[in-house]
Structure 1
Amino acid sequence: MYRAVAWDIDGTLIDSEPLHHQSLLAGCRNWNVDLDDLPDQAFRGIHMGDVWTTLRPRLPVGLDQAEWLAAINAHYVANRANAVPIPEAVETIRTLADRGVPQVCVSNSGRQVVNANLDALGVLD
């Protein structure tokens, strides 16, 4: 019997990397920055602070990091239905819940993206 389970969301419960990449490209287009030359999922598993640092020379002077990240997150949230659950993830969560096992989700993503992922999985409850 498990005492509790801590789930990492991205890559464990949901395959969110393609949507993260699409959101990065779409968010940067708000400032006419074309990142189509980046390999698919170029920043897979990379913290957004490090993505900002890497891309900063390609972004407009004066662009605020919070504004940039908000645009990326807005695209992600609006398109959350495109994130794909990992096979059996939701069923496993539900089975553990039915057995009374406490569960928590952890992530390097911000609350807005976490909630979008949990909503896409149908496990906000």
Structure 2
Amino acid sequence: MTLTRNIKAILWDMDGTLAESEALHLHTLVRALAYHGIEAGDELHPLIFGKTGQQVHTLCCERFGLSTDFGAWSAFRARCYLEAAPSIRPRAGALDVYHAAKSAGIAQAIVSNSSRMLLEANLAALGLQEPQLVTVSANDVRAGKPDPEPYQRAAWLLRVNPEETIAIEDSPTGALAAIAAGMRLLAWPQDEAGAALFHPAAQIVRSAQELAAALDLPLFTTS
């Protein structure tokens, strides 16, 4: 089923949707905790999935008794992230869909819960840095996802109404933000278990081909 009737823009999440960067975010968190003498691992991923850096810091303070301030904490994590960011790869097929939408003349924006610095690193790694590209980071809003503000801001910058957009998300947190903003939503979970976590308003797609079909874009074979 396509969702493109009366659609003027596609709003993409970055981490996990366009970029395979979730593992790097987890790695920087584990390194930061280890620096403060706290041992942790993959068990943290479900707890931080889709959250802003500030939200993750708050979680660590509550869970581990972390006392370092957010500024120093985020600076350490950012340095770790930037060291490895050039190796980030796109999610399989995601850029094919992105470029197909661009060729079709559909306006697009990227809406991320990451800081501006990390978002720009991801854009560079994926080759998506363009002067006219509309992007929204955690630094550009008062409240990150699941608050609707990031998606509302992207729609405002694109000069479209929320109901004229489709958001694409891999996390339930981001999905809630898009739905609260009044947008249609395509949920592209990383696995079948994740599909069950989305709001009933989400249309689930399970591959780049299904995503392209839902957007009424030409089908293709991913490289």
* TM-score of the pair, normalised by structure 1: 0.80
Instruction: Determine the structure 2 residue equivalent to 1:9.
Output: 14
- Larger RCO of the pair (alpha carbons < 8 Å, separation 6+): 1
SS at match of 1:86: coil
Structure 2 distance, partners of 1:33, 1:105, is: 36
* Separation in 2, partners of 1:40, 1:21: 8
Q: Which ranges of structure 2 fall in alignment gaps of 5 or more residues?
A: 131-223
1:97 alignment partner in structure 2: 102
Alpha-carbon spacing, 1:89–1:67, altered in 2? closer, same or farther (3 Å): same
Q: Unpaired segments of 5 or more residues in structure 1? A: none
Cross-structure match for 2:150: none
Higher mean Cα deviation, 105-114 or 9-18? 9-18
The alignment-based identity, stated in percent, is 29
2:49 to 38, 44, 58: 44
Which position in structure 1 is the counterpart of 2:38?
34
Q: How many pairs are equivalent?
A: 122
TM-score normalised by the chain length of structure 2? 0.48
Q: Which runs of 4+ in 1 moved over 4 A?
A: none
Q: In the TM superposition, what is the alpha-carbon distance from 1:7 to its structure 2 partner?
A: 0.7
Which residues of 2 match residues 1-125 of structure 1 at below 5 A? 2-30=7-35, 32-37=36-41, 39=43, 41-42=45-46, 43-56=48-61, 57-59=64-66, 61=67, 63-125=68-130
Give the structure with higher Rg (CA).
2
Note the C-alpha offset of 1:75. Answer: 1.1
